[in-house]
A = this chain, B = another copy of it.
Amino acid sequence: MNKKDYLKNPVEHIGIKSFDSTKIINAMRKMSFSARDTAHAADLLGEMLNDAGCTIFLCIAGSTSAAGCMQIYADMVKYNMVDAVVATGATIVDMDFFEALGFEHYRGSPNVDDGQLRQLYIDRIYDTFIDEEQLQICDNTVKKIADSLEPRPYSSREFIREMGRFLVDNAKKRDSLVQAAYENDVPVFCPAFSDSSAGFGLVKHQLENPADHVSIDSVKDFRELTQIKINSPVSGLFMIGGGVPKNFVQDTVVCAEVLGKKVDMHKYAVQITVADVRDGACSSSTLAEARSWGKVAAGRNQMVYAEATSVLPLIISYAYHKKDWQNRKKHHWTKIFQ
């Protein structure tokens, strides 16, 4: 097989408006196990949307954007369900920005010869394929953006905002998360920004500009994210996967305290994950455990044990059709940094 044979069936991103999951969620609420947990997660998102002044943080780890959930995240921003995003670099750069540049992910298989893929410059994420040559164009676009900026330390949020600005004029695919966030004043943070396609571009940028260059200051990220929390009397977390985004956003409560500001714990928390609590890692730690750290309040949190592509579309389609977002005021958190 040649490269084209592998890369012929693009992943198509599910649209939350294209079907209505209201009846399913309503039925799942009366069931048990993961079905009921899924309905409860949808209900908690509804409570967040209806809680006046509540800042909703969307946290994304893992590869669900490559796997067909990319439009969901962009729509959550567009339909005012999200006030700030904390994500892995891969989600924001390698997947979302990458598709905004006109590239695609492809439906593949986990049962393939990875040596052959390597020779063809095809990268694999479980059952999904990517053209590595296109990824390199993505790297270089990040470099070009860095080259165009004033040399100084930036938060990842500041840099991603420039990526959004770039897309306004240059996107081949409208409707990316990066662009929607830019246009809606929703800040996007990647606490480990270099750990992505952006890292390659920025390393190149720094090596070509050894004396004076853009750097990414993750401390500044933490300051800015905490500032949002300090300005939010009420907050909720909607998390896909765990990892650094989960820990980072939870820590804002503690960070505010460190800075002498008394803030409330995150009042709501939902996490969709397959991670297992018994390994003691943050990704898998329960939301009850987060309470001991003073990060997440008791009572309004739900772990949903599922691979997210199977339940997230149901939850967000439900939220879209329930329309709680329609009367919600916009936070425009980006503006506090201007």
Contact indicator B292/A118 (Cβ below 8 Å): yes
Q: Which of A73-81, A164-172, A243-251, A322-330 lies at the binding interface?
A: A243-251
Docked CA distance A280–B95 (Å) = 13
Query: Taking the complex as formed, is A137 at the interface, i.e. its CB lies under 8 A from any CB of chain B?
Result: no
Residues from chain B with Cβ under 8 Å of A292 in the complex = 112, 114, 117-118, 122-124
Q: How far is the CB of A170 from chain B (nearest CB, A)?
A: 22
Q: How many Å lie between the Cα of A248 and that of B61 in the bound state? A: 15
Which one of B19, B203, B283, B313 lies within 8 Å of A219 (CB-CB)?
B203
Q: Which residues of B contact A202 (CB under 8 A)?
A: 219, 222
Say yes or no for A226: interface residue by CB 8 A criterion: yes
Establish whether residues A289 and B218, one from each chain, have CB atoms under 8 Å apart when the complex forms: no
**Complex Cα spacing A241 to B31, Å:** 18
Pick from B64, B115, B200, B289: contact of A291, CB under 8 Å: B115
| Chain A window 284-325, contacts with chain B (Cβ cutoff 8 Å), 1 for yes, 0 for no | 010011011110001000000111111101100000000000
Of the listed residues A31, A136, A309, the one surrounded by the most CB atoms of chain B closer than 10 A to its CB is A31
Q: How far is A260 from B181 in the complex, measured between Cα atoms in Å? A: 34
Query: Which has the most chain B C-beta neighbours within 10 Å: A18, A191, A273, A277?
Result: A191
A220 interfacial by beta-carbon distance below 8 Å: yes
Smallest CB-CB separation from A61: which chain B residue? B281
Q: How many copies of this chain?
A: 4
> Which residue from chain B places its CB closest to the CB of A15 in the assembled complex?
B27
Write the nearest CB–CB distance from A186 to chain B, whole angstroms.
21
Q: Bits for A1-30, please: 1 = Cβ < 8 Å to B, else 0.
A: 000000001111111001101011001101
Residue of B nearest to A204 (CB): B258
Kindly list chain B residues whose C-beta atoms are within 8 Å of the C-beta of A255. Answer: 199-200, 203
Whether, in the assembled complex, A276 has its beta carbon less than 8 Å from a beta carbon of chain B, the answer is: yes
Answer yes or no: A175 CB below 8 A from chain B CBs.
no
Interface hub of A23, A204, A219 (most chain B Cβ within 10 A): A219
A66 is an interface residue with CB less than 8 A from chain B: yes
A328 to chain B, nearest CB (A): 26
Besides A33-B309, A195-B244, 12 other CB < 8 A contacts? Answer: A24-B313, A31-B68, A33-B63, A34-B310, A35-B313, A110-B289, A122-B292, A126-B289, A193-B218, A203-B219, A243-B244, A280-B307
